[in-house]
Amino acid sequence: MAGLSRLRAAAALQLRQLARSRAYGSAAAAQLQYDYDDECDLHGQASEPMLRLDSAGLPPRRGVQWVLIGDPGVKKHVYADNLSKLLEVPHISMGSLVRQELSPRSALYKQIANAVNEGKLVPEDVIFALLSKRLEEGYYRGESGFILDGIPRTRIQAEILDQIVDVDLVVNFQSTEDQLVKRNLESEAFSPHKEFLSLGGARFSAADAASAWKEKFRIYAEQGKSLEDYYSKQRKLLNFQVAAAPGETWQGLLSALHLQHMNAVSSSQKLTA
């Protein structure tokens, strides 16, 4: 834990000066707020966060700082990229940042390769070193705001992230177990007419693969609960149910974020400060 404490302090110091002058600080975060109803909904649940719009029905002019988390296999990076283009803020994908370092020429190659080969998460010090570098580069390019996907995956990562940036909203993508299993089996080349899949010389039945995926999702759900609780207590969590079709999911996401009107906004109109 001492190592993580040092990491939090180092990461905070590295970006704090940038945070005071740009959109990563608490003062700037105050420009983008979310309204909450004092009452609960019909099911007795706390109301979801609602984006506060200006008099023209547009988000405030400071770039949004949103994080996408949720079930694996729902292609969050695709929706992050779409939101990035729509809102004209950078899409920061931790998966892409890590893959860029998977080269023997990278000083981080060995640490990342070892974690990947052992099926473990890439160490926090590596993850946040890459993220801090990307944010700093964006600052000097004049960027404001971001759509982040790929982290956090754990509560510890969420706590470290809060030391670096002020997250406005966390969109939690949720799917039913059947949707997730079906989507991932399709990605592994199963089809209604294909009973077996060959991987590494071994053959797996569709039933075996489905069982393995269900167990994986069960473990993921258990691990993700503390992360969801962390952001829920901050009142930053927006649970979003993924639809069966990508197009339907995208329209539903726009509705949940109160961004349907953005389809009529000129792509040349900047939404950042």
Residue 44 exposure: Cα atoms within 13 Å on the Cβ side: 0
Token digits for 134?
Answer: 């990307």
- Which residue's structure tokens are 């939690």? 172
* Residue-range domains of the chain with CATH: 65-188+205-263 (3.40.50.300)
Can you count the helices (H) and strands (E) in the chain? 10, 9
Compute the distance between CA of residue 160 and CA of residue 217 in angstroms, rounded to an integer: 25
DSSP line for 23-92: TTSHHHHTTS-EE--SS--TTSPPPPPEEPP-TTS---SSPPEEEEEESTTS-HHHHHHHHHHHHT--EE
Per-10-residue mean pLDDT of the chain, 273 residues long, equals 53 49 36 36 46 56 90 88 94 94 86 85 90 93 94 93 95 80 56 48 61 72 88 96 88 92 49 32
Do 132 and 50 contact (CB within 8 A), yes or no? Answer: no
Do 147 and 92 contact (CB within 8 A), yes or no? Answer: yes
pLDDT of residue 11: 56
pLDDT of residue 79: 95
Length of the chain: 273
Do 273 and 65 contact (CB within 8 A), yes or no? Answer: no
Token digits for 170?
Answer: 């966390």
pLDDT of residue 88: 92
Enumerate residues 6+ apart whose C-beta is below 8 A from 180: 71, 72, 73, 74, 213, 217
pLDDT of residue 93: 96
Compute the distance between CA of residue 113 and CA of residue 120 in angstroms, rounded to an integer: 10
Q: What are the two backbone dihedrals, phi and then psi, of residue 39, each rounded to the nearest 5 degrees?
A: -95, 160
Compute the distance between CA of residue 260 and CA of residue 257 in angstroms, rounded to an integer: 8
